[in-house]
Amino acid sequence: PHIAARVVVVGAGLAGLSAASTLVKAGFQHIQVLEAMGRPGGRIYTTRPFGQNVIELGANWIHGQEANPLFLLAQERGLLLEERGSASIMCLPGSVTPRDYFFRESGRQLTVDEVEQVCSFFSGLTSRAFGSELEPRHSSQSLGGYLDEEFAQSPLAASEDGQRVFEWCKRSECTDEASSSLYEVSASQLGHYVALEGGFFNSLGPGGYQALADTLLDNLQPGAVLCDRPVHSIHWGLQEEKNHTHPVRVLCKGGQCFTADHVIVTVPLGFLKENAAAMFEPALPKSKADAIERLGFGTVDKIYLRFEDRFWPHDCAGIQLVWDAGPEDEEVYQHSRSEGGAWRDMWYKKICGFDTVARHPTVLCGWITGREAQHMESLEEKMVGEVCVRLLRSFTGWSVPEPAQVLMSKWGSELFVRGSYTYPPPGVDAVREHTALAAPLPLPCEAGHSQAKPLQVLFAGEATHVSFYTTTHGAYMTGIREAQRLIDLYTEKEPDSYN
């Protein structure tokens, strides 16, 4: 069918591109994607700063295989890495191997046994949270509070090394949760996140994540995606009797104006937190404004260091930093909260460690999260590189050369993103808030009052998925979900459930 309705999609990340491509395939003739940045992809950001092999500044992996449509798409297009052994693996408590070298601040290397025992105990605890197997007394606790309480009862807590490795586990888990601290994440709400079966770290081939975004772009007409078009405001509920031919008008910063029957908004939650109040006319309903405020959106950054030569042993997959008193140590955390900005001077203590990088034999990738990551973004790359080298030298005692190149992501300062991904803070009903964020406007109760046209403003994006938030497949599925609402509207099909 040829469907003449005009649809504007705001944002050309995975959600926006999957929405646009699904609509085009269903016969929609007038699709315009407006992207604020100079490139499509959003939080997929594949670059080549160190030669021809890719470096991912945003998403790296496809999480899970079974029932993961993005994994299937990548497989169908031959975009997956063929040799699984050559993928980059991020060192998380659940994926520690003997090839991960853990060092104490004193320069002493910890034994594999010591590290593995604590990490596997830690992963058991987080699995219970993700599996909704927490006891009722943990239901209002933060993830950090729950973990501390359980760890205190374990014999592993008797050893000082055990305590310090446990702190590393919490710091490292912050990269999964994109949070400043696990004391700011709800323990019980994590149970709503669904981890798909199959490898957690499925890697893409030589074209990286951008190759996957390109398969969606290929379905669109030339000119369907306009970059450098930041949307300034969205005016909806416009009525024909007042001479409006379409119910929605989308205004870009440069003054360009697009009229539409429907707009699909896929901007990140971080952008909404900062701009939603001024962006919509009429203003968003309270349920949506509350969801934007209540859900958390934190920063995860990567620091890439390229050296002329490799200085670490061949069997070493990464170097992990175990502090005597790091920022996820509860006392340090509470103290730094009461002391205001004291954590700024020690931002580098939030770096979990440095992992090796696939296809880049002389590159290390450091991980840092939260307010400390945001602070790092304000520093010069050269200075960040110097701090990293100082840490590597003092923890390992190895002779570490100056890096030839330093490159870091800046997701917290990126005006059109303002962070990395979504997490549920303590006390928040995550399912309710993700659902409220996803609800199209006008809401059914409002539509009943007037003769308002349906589905004027729709919402997609990672943060609008109840169980796959934080992920690329979640973002991808929400784009299809919103496109499907419109397809059903024009093909008069009984709508399915849109979850």
The contact set with ligand 6YU (CB under 6 A) reads 10-16, 34-37, 42-44, 58-61, 63, 176-177, 190, 193, 230-231, 266-268, 271, 300, 302, 409, 411, 416-417, 420-421, 423, 461-462, 470-472, 475
Please give the structure tokens belonging to residue 410.
């800046």
Rounded CA gap, 65 and 319, in Å?
Answer: 29
Q: By C-beta, is 60 or 142 nearer to ligand 6YU? A: 60
Q: By C-beta, is 57 or 319 nearer to ligand 6YU? A: 57
DSSP string of 198-267, one letter each residue: S-TTEEB-TTHHHHHHHHHHTTSPTTSEESS--EEEEE----GGGT-SSSEEEEETTS-EEEESEEEE--
* Single-letter residue type at 398: W
State the DSSP code for 47: E
State the DSSP code for 442: S
Least separation in angstroms between residue 430's CB and ligand 6YU is 9
Q: By C-beta, is 396 or 470 nearer to ligand 6YU? A: 470
Q: Say if strands 100-104 and 55-56 run parallel, antiparallel, or are unpaired.
A: unpaired
Least separation in angstroms between residue 45's CB and ligand 6YU is 8
Least separation in angstroms between residue 447's CB and ligand 6YU is 26
* Single-letter residue type at 341: G
Q: By C-beta, is 29 or 233 nearer to ligand 6YU? A: 233
Apex 410 CA angle, 199 and 299, nearest 5: 60
Least separation in angstroms between residue 173's CB and ligand 6YU is 9
**Number of residues written out for the chain:** 499
CA–chain centroid gap for 414, Å, is 13
Least separation in angstroms between residue 225's CB and ligand 6YU is 10
Q: Are 298 and 436 in contact (CB under 8 A)?
A: no
Known binding-site residue numbers for FAD:
35-36, 231
Q: What is the largest CA-CA distance in the chain?
A: 76
Q: By C-beta, is 428 or 487 nearer to ligand 6YU? A: 428
Q: By C-beta, is 117 or 141 nearer to ligand 6YU? A: 141
Least separation in angstroms between residue 302's CB and ligand 6YU is 6
Least separation in angstroms between residue 488's CB and ligand 6YU is 22
3-state helix, strand, coil in the chain (%, to 5): 40, 20, 40
Write down the residue that tokens 């991808």 correspond to: 476
Q: Are 111 and 96 in contact (CB under 8 A)?
A: no
Least separation in angstroms between residue 88's CB and ligand 6YU is 10
Q: By C-beta, is 35 or 150 nearer to ligand 6YU? A: 35
Q: By C-beta, is 68 or 117 nearer to ligand 6YU? A: 68
CA dist 178 to 126, 127, 263, 300, Å? Answer: 15, 17, 29, 5
Tell whether omega for the bond before 230 is within 30 degrees of 0, i.e. cis.
Answer: no
With a CB cutoff of 8 Å and minimum separation 6, the contacts of 442 are 236, 237, 450, 452, 454, 456
State the DSSP code for 13: S
